[in-house]
């Protein structure tokens, strides 16, 4: 019995020593980490200070001390050590898993921007919420930011504002609250309250945005939204079954930058677009936007056009930092639809965008276009009556209008494949013959020509179209 008692006392002392050592180690880790921070925050910081800080941090990191892991992780990420995002990510993650609040927020940021890992907004939200529960107001604000822009979750201004208000006046949360009140995003428009919030928020972002607001108010250049734009985009009369025939031709209208809810127009620009096909049957676009022109090939896929290396620099009327005044939007793809609004047909497109400088998706851009007047291949404007009459003729390769004719004659045909085309118009006896097209390579699609028939005698005329040597003819009477 006495021997057993000695054993129990020995075991108890053993664990007491272990626990005491652990506490001592923890104290030492805390002291060394704080000393490392002091080196890193020195006013006249030097490379030698960084070396001393790292020497202090390494044993603490090896001892799994979360604050040290967090600091060392940031050093990797901020290039104070060799540029190794993955090592930084791993250390921040280890610290976050020990519920170090700032590490939880940082881990959310790494998932949000894809630093040291793949972009994952859901995981970002998960770690922001953990940071919030641990009392880190950056984490609280960051959940609101995801809701504000709809990153990985359904966009919702009201939820964003709720999270911003919970962040205990975290500066960037207060900034976005001011922006929301100015534009009426999730709250009623209250410009005085918006500007008061920004004036009281002593950060550069709010100062820059405040100057933008004051400039536009003083110069009567408030951003005026066009309700019709969003009504057209929301029109229920839409057709997704697009073909090149729907796209082909010249279009003009507006390129619209929407807010994050896609319900408000932030700014719009006049734009014109021409769609055609090259000899390889690829869709070619020519786009004119303000003072810039773009052209290239777009790949058609499932009602989408995929663009290669297409980007545009926008000058923004409102911005949060001077670096954001001019932003380059990379356009990856566009989903096209035909929308009908007030009996007018529009071609609309929603662009998926990305802003590399901000490492985030950009605002939604939308094209809202109406078709310009239809023009023949030889430059004659065609009325809608003529277009409709020609489109109703489906039986013959050559379509003619009017029939019979007096002077104006429109000749139309559709190529299923590209081909070399010759077109002639003559009287029945071949005494008078006129060439409309003398050998032109044309891609698949519909083509229309105008012919001044006043030069032909009354009676029967012959329209001949050669495609790769194959002859197509049609007779028509002239009054």
Residue 197 lies in a domain: yes
Residue 154, both tokens: 């359904």
Residue 204, both tokens: 């550069």
Asked if 436 and 425 count as a contact pair (C-beta separation under 8 A), the reply is yes
Could you tell me the pLDDT band of residue 7, with boundaries at 50, 70 and 90?
very low
Residue 436, both tokens: 């409309």
Residues 243, 281 share a domain: yes
Residue 212 lies in a domain: yes
In angstroms, rounded to a whole number, what is the distance separating the alpha carbons of residues 330 and 310?
Answer: 6
pLDDT at 140 over 50: yes
Higher pLDDT, 103 or 43: 103
Q: Which helix (H) or strand (E) holds 350?
A: strand 344-355
Residue 45 lies in a domain: no
> Which of 2-16, 156-170, 298-312 holds the top average pLDDT?
156-170
Asked if 69 and 58 count as a contact pair (C-beta separation under 8 A), the reply is no
Query: Tokens 């939308």 appear where?
Result: 366
Beta bridge partners of 420: 441
For 342-374, how does the pLDDT look when each residue is reduced to its tens digit (9 = 90+)?
Answer: 767 788 888 878 888 888 998 888 888 888 777
Could you tell me the pLDDT band of residue 1, with boundaries at 50, 70 and 90?
very low
pLDDT at 8 over 80: no
Residues 350, 252 share a domain: yes
pLDDT (0 to 100) of residue 34:
94
Residues 353, 272 share a domain: yes
Residues 348, 399 share a domain: no
Beta bridge partners of 449: 411
pLDDT (0 to 100) of residue 436:
95
Final residue before a domain boundary, out of 315, 341, 372: 372
Residue 247 lies in a domain: yes
H-only helix segments in 219-359: 227-233, 244-247
The string of DSSP letters for 362-376 reads ---EEEEEEEPPEE-
Residues 346, 291 share a domain: yes
Residue 254 lies in a domain: yes
Q: Average of pLDDT values for 124-143?
A: 98
H-only helix segments in 41-120: 47-62, 66-77, 85-97, 101-113
For 166-219, how does the pLDDT look when each residue is reduced to its tens digit (9 = 90+)?
Answer: 999 999 999 999 999 999 999 999 999 999 999 999 999 999 999 999 999 888
Residue 107, both tokens: 């881990």
What's the distance, CA 187 to chain centroid?
Answer: 25
For the chain, how many structural domains are there in total?
A: 3
Residues 435, 474 share a domain: yes
User: Lowest-confidence range among 113-117, 372-376, 377-381?
Assistant: 372-376
Statement: the pTM of the whole predicted model exceeds 0.75:
no
**Residue 404: is the preceding peptide bond cis (ω within 30°)?**
yes
Average pLDDT, the chain: 86
In angstroms, rounded to a whole number, what is the distance separating the alpha carbons of residues 269 and 195?
Answer: 27
Residue 471 lies in a domain: yes
Residues 247, 352 share a domain: yes
Residues 444, 355 share a domain: no
Q: Average of pLDDT values for 422-446?
A: 92
Asked if 258 and 363 count as a contact pair (C-beta separation under 8 A), the reply is yes
Q: What is the dihedral of CA 45, 46, 52, 53, to 10 degrees?
A: 40
Which 8-state DSSP code applies to residue 48? H
Residues 241, 357 share a domain: yes
User: Lowest-confidence range among 6-15, 56-65, 76-85, 421-430?
Assistant: 6-15
Give the 3-state secondary structure of residue 24.
helix
pLDDT (0 to 100) of residue 25:
57
In angstroms, rounded to a whole number, what is the distance separating the alpha carbons of residues 97 and 50?
Answer: 26
Asked if 404 and 476 count as a contact pair (C-beta separation under 8 A), the reply is yes
Final residue before a domain boundary, out of 222, 239, 257: 222
Give the 3-state secondary structure of residue 123.
helix
In angstroms, rounded to a whole number, what is the distance separating the alpha carbons of residues 351 and 255?
Answer: 10
| Residue-number span of the structural domain to which 195 is assigned | 171-222
For 452-463, how does the pLDDT look when each residue is reduced to its tens digit (9 = 90+)?
Answer: 999 999 999 999
User: Lowest-confidence range among 121-130, 383-392, 423-432?
Assistant: 383-392
Residues 455, 417 share a domain: yes
pLDDT at 299 over 70: yes
Residue 255, both tokens: 């390129």
Beta bridge partners of 466: 422, 471
CATH code assigned at 413 = 2.60.40.1930
Residues 384, 464 share a domain: yes
In angstroms, rounded to a whole number, what is the distance separating the alpha carbons of residues 3 and 60?
Answer: 40
pLDDT at 408 over 60: yes
In angstroms, rounded to a whole number, what is the distance separating the alpha carbons of residues 422 and 252?
Answer: 31
Could you tell me the pLDDT band of residue 242, with boundaries at 50, 70 and 90?
low
Taking only Cα atoms into account, the Rg of the chain, rounded to an integer number of angstroms, comes to 34
Sequence-ordered list of residues with C-beta below 8 angstroms from that of 385, at least 6 positions apart, any chain:
none
Residue 311 lies in a domain: yes
Could you tell me the pLDDT band of residue 15, with boundaries at 50, 70 and 90?
very low
Final residue before a domain boundary, out of 222, 241, 257: 222
pLDDT at 18 over 50: no
- Cα first-last separation, the chain: 132
pLDDT (0 to 100) of residue 22:
44
In angstroms, rounded to a whole number, what is the distance separating the alpha carbons of residues 104 and 137?
Answer: 11
pLDDT (0 to 100) of residue 280:
80
In angstroms, rounded to a whole number, what is the distance separating the alpha carbons of residues 383 and 385?
Answer: 5
Could you tell me the pLDDT band of residue 338, with boundaries at 50, 70 and 90?
confident
């Amino acid at each position: 019995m006495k021997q057993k008692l000695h054993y129990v006392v020995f075991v108890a002392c053993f664990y007491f020593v272990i626990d005491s050592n652990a506490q001592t180690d923890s104290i030492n880790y805390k002291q060394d980490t704080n000393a490392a921070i002091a080196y890193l925050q020195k006013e006249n910081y030097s490379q030698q200070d960084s070396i001393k800080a790292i020497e202090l941090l390494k044993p603490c990191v090896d001892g799994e001390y979360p604050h040290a892991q967090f600091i060392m992780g940031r050093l990797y990420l901020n290039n104070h050590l060799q540029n190794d995002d993955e090592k930084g990510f791993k250390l921040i993650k280890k610290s976050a898993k020990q519920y170090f609040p700032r590490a939880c927020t940082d881990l959310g940021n790494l998932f949000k921007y894809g630093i040291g890992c793949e972009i994952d907004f859901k995981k970002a939200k998960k770690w922001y919420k953990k940071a919030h529960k641990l009392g880190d107001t950056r984490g609280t604000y960051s959940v609101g930011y995801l809701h504000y822009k709809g990153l990985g979750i359904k966009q919702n201004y009201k939820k964003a504002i709720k999270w911003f208000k919970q962040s205990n006046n975290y500066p960037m949360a207060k900034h976005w609250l001011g922006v929301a009140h100015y534009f009426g995003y999730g709250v009623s428009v209250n410009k005085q309250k918006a500007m008061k919030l920004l004036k009281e928020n002593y950060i550069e972002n709010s100062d820059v945005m405040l100057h933008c607001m004051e400039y536009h108010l003083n110069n009567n250049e408030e951003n005026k939204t066009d309700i019709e734009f969003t009504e057209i985009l929301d029109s229920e009369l839409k057709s997704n079954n697009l073909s090149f025939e729907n796209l082909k031709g010249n279009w003009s209208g507006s390129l619209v930058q929407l807010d994050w809810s896609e319900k408000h127009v932030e700014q719009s620009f006049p734009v014109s677009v021409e769609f055609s096909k090259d000899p390889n049957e690829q869709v070619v676009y020519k786009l004119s936007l303000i003072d810039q022109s773009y052209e290239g090939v777009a790949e058609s896929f499932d009602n989408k056009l995929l663009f290669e290396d297409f980007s545009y620099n926008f000058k923004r009327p409102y911005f949060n930092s001077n670096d954001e005044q001019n932003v380059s939007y990379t356009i990856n793809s566009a989903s096209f639809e035909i929308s009908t609004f007030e009996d007018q047909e529009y071609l609309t497109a929603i662009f998926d965008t990305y802003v590399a400088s901000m490492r985030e998706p950009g605002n939604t851009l939308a094209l809202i276009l109406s078709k310009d007047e239809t023009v023949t291949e030889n430059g004659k404007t065609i009325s809608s009556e003529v277009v409709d009459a020609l489109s109703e003729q489906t039986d013959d390769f050559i379509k003619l209008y009017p029939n019979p004719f007096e002077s104006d004659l429109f000749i139309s045909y559709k190529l299923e494949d590209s081909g070399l085309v010759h077109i002639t118009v003559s009287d029945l006896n071949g005494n008078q013959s006129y060439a409309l097209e003398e050998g032109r390579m044309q891609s698949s699609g519909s083509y229309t020509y105008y012919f001044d028939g006043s030069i032909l005698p009354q009676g029967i005329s012959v329209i001949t179209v050669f495609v790769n040597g194959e002859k197509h003819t049609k007779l028509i009477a002239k009054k």
